Amino acid sequence: MRVLFLFGVFAKVGGIEEFTVDLALGLVRAGVEVEILCSSLHNPALGLLKKAGVKISRIPVVHGCNWNIPDYVLFPFALSRARKADVVIHQKIFDKLFYKNLPRSVRHVFITAYRPREISPELDSRCRFYSFFDLVITQEETFREDIIESGAKVLIEVVPYIPLGIIPLQERAQDTVLRIGMMGRLEPQKNPLMALEIVSLLRNGPPAGWSSVEFNIYGSGTLEAAMRNEAEPKELNVNFHGTYKRSDVPNIVAANNLFIITSHSEGQCIVALEVLASGRPLFATPVGALPQILSEPERGALLNVEDIESAGETIRCWLQNNQSVSAAGIQRSYLNSYNREAIIERYLNVLSTVAE
């Protein structure tokens, strides 16, 4: 089987990129011919994939994303490479021109990155988009229902993102500083200013047993300056750590007591899985697959995006009522739901079936 990932811009940091690395490596190990066609500058993840046997077809154009310039530069290469594949995997939404011209002699598979109704609220446009594909792989049952609701005639499989495997647990610091972490891009979609408001609220009234609050931010983006400007007059203890590598994640998670996600929209959210795999509780807005991920109370809780006071109180109450929850208990709960090898095998079976 020959699989082409038609990717678009391949960022240095991103959940979709991390998932693609995991899936591509899993397919290569199973004997599948894998190629990734993308726009990217130097990227260590692509180098790792190349060493593992993945063919990387890369154009060094990443500027002009607001006008889809990298996508249009990529387009003629996409037409050529798609004709040589058995399955083309799409993970980012391209201009409709792409879908009109891509060859129909191969199987086209779309893997959702976000909940469909969050990206396409209108049923007609949602129906037209998903109807192009032979198969849609989505991460949660509610995502599947969104596609069915649109009337799209397409095969749908529900398969989670590939989670991290077992990570050696590291104990939390034993002092009384509540260290709150946030990983990801500092962009409007991620709503990081809400996280800052929650931290400010908790700083003014730390949960019982904690003397102070520290906020550690891992990532960068267009809202970083705004966050710095917001934090400074409030005299918040905020540390901006900048971008990070995936190999840094276990140590990042271990350095904090809990993590928050305040996004307006999400898919399954790789960060959520990384946090739980490392044995820390997560508090997140109820978007994408996060309600399903946090369906077990020992993993954390959902936050009311409309009410900062309520969100802060949710964290306070959880910390007060779950003092006996250990890092090992959180990790065990996570592993019960997200078995890495079984999920990789599921992807292989689904793709093999659609290629037949």
Q: What is the pLDDT of residues 85-123, one digit of tens each?
A: 999 999 888 888 888 889 989 999 999 988 898 888 899
Domains, the chain: 2-163+339-355 (3.40.50.2000), 177-337 (3.40.50.2000)
pTM above 0.85, yes or no: no
Q: How confident is the model at residue 13 (pLDDT cuts 50, 70, 90)?
A: confident
Q: How confident is the model at residue 299 (pLDDT cuts 50, 70, 90)?
A: very high
Q: What is the pLDDT of residues 251-275, one digit of tens each?
A: 999 999 999 999 998 887 889 999 9
Least confidently predicted of 21-35, 110-124, 281-295? 110-124
3-state secondary structure 175-226: CCEEEEEEECCCCHHHCHHHHHHHHHHHHHCCCCCCCEEEEEEEECCCCHHH
Q: What is the pLDDT of residues 124-172, one digit of tens each?
A: 999 999 999 999 999 889 999 999 999 999 999 999 888 877 777 776 6
Residue 63 scores a pLDDT above 90: no
Residue 286 scores a pLDDT above 70: yes
Q: How confident is the model at residue 323 (pLDDT cuts 50, 70, 90)?
A: confident
Percent pLDDT > 90 in the chain is 63
| pLDDT, mean of residues 213-226 | 95
Higher-confidence residue of 163 and 29: namely: 29
Strands (E), the chain: 2-9, 33-39, 55-59, 87-90, 107-111, 135-138, 155-158, 177-183, 212-218, 238-242, 258-261, 282-284, 300-302
Least confidently predicted of 14-23, 218-227, 231-240? 14-23
Sign of the dihedral defined by the CA atoms of residues 50, 54, 60, 62, in that order: negative
Residue 320 scores a pLDDT above 70: yes
| pLDDT, mean of residues 37-55 | 91
Phi, then psi, of 204 in degrees rounded to 5: -75, -20
The reported pLDDT for the residue numbered 173 is 67
